[in-house]
């Protein structure tokens, strides 16, 4: 009887905890959904990465511009570099994942397969650590933005929040910092150089390119010839 009494005594407490957790979960769910819908219309003011770097005293350079204020070569460069099936998939590129897994079996340098949509979901909503919780939330967030945003909007957000240099976020800030011109004036060569550094914008430098960056720049320029993305 003592054991049963203890169980029945715990039941109201467990029920209360369940209700609190449920309320928190639903609140976060609806907050995330509402924020996702709001971002269809309003600029992304900050991201967890930008906020964290600012909190740690880093000088942040960023300036939001609309997609039509970013040169077509810059748009083509990031698609050629990061996600050539961008227009065709619904956030996840299964073929790219399979190819990356096969590549990673035999190479020390690991190859990723995140689409532009996944990178937007991670940059706008989540933290940078690679753990299963973040990956799960990233997939969910990717589904939401693919469902509610246009491809133009996804690309526009990506080109405004992606880190393109140490503390430099977005194409406009990168263009002004590296080339002293707005993103609307970026040439194919300049855009490809910026895109070549995207895998690791802290290690790879636009204004002091390594042989790897120059080789990747040439590859991106070649790939850009096959990109037909138009706003």
What is the DSSP code string of 124-190?
Answer: HHS-S---HHHHHHHHHHHHHHHHHS-HHHHHHHHHHHSEEETTEESHHHHHHHHHSS-GGG--HHH
Residue 1: predicted pLDDT: 47
Residue 7 domain flag: yes
User: Phi and psi dihedrals of 63, rounded to 5?
Assistant: -155, 115
Residue 107 lies in a domain: yes
* Residues 75 and 25 both lie in one domain: no
Predicted local distance difference test score (pLDDT) of residue 106: 66
| 146 and 205 belong to one structural domain | yes
Residue 186 domain-assigned (yes or no): yes
- Residue by residue, DSSP assigns 75-127 as HHHHHHHH-TTTTTSSS--HHHHHHHHHHHHS-SS------HHHHHHHHHHS-
Quote the pLDDT of residue 133.
84
Inside any domain, residue 114: yes
The neighbouring-strand residues paired with 62 are 169
Q: Cα separation of 54 and 49, whole Å?
A: 9
Is 55 found in the same domain as 1?
Answer: no
One domain for residues 181 and 67: yes
pLDDT at residue 92, rounded to an integer = 86
Asked if residue 230 belongs to a domain, the reply is no
Q: What is the DSSP letter of 14?
A: H
CA distance 124 to 47: 5
Left, alpha or beta for 180 (phi > 0: left; psi -120 to 50: alpha)?
A: left
- 61, β-bridge pairs: 168
- Asked whether residue 178 falls in the same domain as residue 194, the answer is yes
100 and 185, same structural domain? Answer: yes
Q: Is there a single domain that holds both residue 20 and residue 52?
A: no
Whether residue 98 sits in one domain with residue 14:
no
Number of domains in the chain: 2
> Does the residue 187 lie in any domain?
yes
Q: Provide the token pair at 205.
A: 């430098």
Beta strands in 129-202 (DSSP E): 163-165, 168-169
Bridge partner list, 208:
none
Residue 231 lies in a domain: no
- In angstroms, rounded to a whole number, what is the distance separating the alpha carbons of residues 13 and 16? 5
Query: Which CATH number does the domain housing residue 194 bear?
Result: 1.10.3810.10
Answer yes or no: do 26 and 45 share one domain: no
Same-domain pairing of 60 and 5: no
Query: Residue 229's pLDDT is what?
Result: 54
Q: Which domain holds residue 68?
A: 39-224
Low-confidence ranges of the chain (pLDDT < 50): 1-4, 231
Whether residues 80 and 6 share a domain: the answer is: no
CA distance 74 to 155: 11
- The pair of structure tokens assigned to 198 is 């995207």
pLDDT of 218: 97
Per-residue model confidence (pLDDT) at position 93: 78
What gap in Å lies between CA 14 and CA 20, rounded to an integer?
10
The pLDDT of residue 2 is 46
The answer to whether position 195 is within a domain reads: yes
Whole-structure pTM over 0.75, yes or no? yes
Question: In this structure, are residues 177 and 59 in contact, taking their beta carbons and an 8 Å threshold?
Answer: no
Q: Within this chain, do residues 53 and 14 fall inside the same structural domain, yes or no?
A: no
């Amino acid at each position: 009887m003592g054991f049963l009494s203890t169980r029945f005594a715990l039941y109201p407490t467990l029920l209360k905890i369940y209700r609190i957790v449920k309320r928190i979960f639903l609140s976060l769910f609806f907050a995330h959904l509402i924020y996702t819908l709001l971002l269809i219309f309003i600029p992304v003011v900050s991201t967890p990465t930008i906020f964290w770097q600012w909190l740690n005293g880093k000088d942040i350079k960023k300036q939001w511009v609309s997609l039509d204020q970013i040169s077509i070569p810059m748009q083509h460069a990031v698609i050629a570099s990061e996600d050539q099936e961008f227009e065709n998939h619904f956030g996840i590129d299964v073929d790219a994942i399979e190819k990356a897994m096969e590549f990673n079996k035999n190479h020390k340098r690991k190859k990723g397969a995140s689409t532009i949509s996944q990178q937007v979901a991670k940059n706008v909503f989540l933290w940078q650590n690679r753990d299963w919780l973040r990956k799960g939330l990233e997939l969910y967030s990717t589904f939401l933005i693919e469902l509610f945003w246009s491809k133009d909007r996804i690309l526009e957000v990506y080109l405004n929040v992606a880190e393109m240099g140490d503390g430099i976020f977005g194409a406009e800030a990168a263009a002004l910092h590296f080339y002293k011109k707005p993103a609307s004036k970026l040439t194919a060569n300049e855009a490809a150089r910026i895109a070549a550094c995207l895998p690791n914008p802290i290690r790879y430098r636009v204004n002091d390119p390594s042989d790897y960056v120059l080789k990747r720049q040439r590859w991106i320029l070649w790939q850009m010839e096959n990109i037909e993305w138009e706003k």
